[in-house]
Amino acid sequence: MKTPKDVSSLSEAPMFKHFVNFSRRYLYAFFVLFFISLFSSGMVFAADALWNTVADIIGVWVLRLGGVVIFVGGIMFGLGWKNDDAEGKSRGISTMISGGIVTALAVLVPTFFA
């Protein structure tokens, strides 16, 4: 039976040297990847907050635009009614309906951008 060589300290053991070499080689890579993932998660949250802000602004302004289009269509319908103009009435109703469609889409913006 062979007896192991007398190892005076743990640092001279071959298994320990192998572990130290392995850890030096891959520990740096582990910490670099860890910090990259840590900082990139913060960037993702910031981008998500920015995206939600942009989606909210788009939703508000599209809703306002739809309201303006409905208002303009109502004026066109009123003027077509005053002049007894069938084409003006039809154009006014069509404009009001298109404004209603834009307003409905503005209400659905959070659903599209969530």
Q: Which pTM was predicted?
A: 0.55
Residue 11 pLDDT: 53
Residue 8 pLDDT: 53
* Residue 8 resides in a domain: no
Q: Using CA atoms, how far apart are residues 30 and 50, in angstroms rounded to an integer?
A: 30
Domain assignment of residue 100, given as a range: 13-113
Give 9 or 19, the one with higher predicted confidence.
Answer: 19
Burial class (CB in 10 A: 0-12, 13-18, 19+), 112: exposed
* Residue 76 resides in a domain: yes
* Residue 84 resides in a domain: yes
Residue 56, pLDDT above cutoff 60: yes
Contact 83, 109 (CB under 8 A): no
* Residue 2 resides in a domain: no
* Residue 89 resides in a domain: yes
* Residue 5 resides in a domain: no
* Residue 37 resides in a domain: yes
CA nearest neighbour of 92 among 106, 81, 103: 81
Residue 80 pLDDT: 92
Residue 16, pLDDT above cutoff 70: no
Percent of the chain with pLDDT over 90: 32
Q: What is the pLDDT of residues 57-93, one digit of tens each?
A: 888 888 999 999 999 999 999 999 888 889 999 999 9
Q: How many domains does the chain have?
A: 1
Instruction: Give the DSSP letter of residue 11.
Output: G
Q: Using CA atoms, how far apart are residues 42 and 30, in angstroms rounded to an integer?
A: 19
* Residue 42 resides in a domain: yes
Give 47 or 94, the one with higher predicted confidence.
Answer: 94
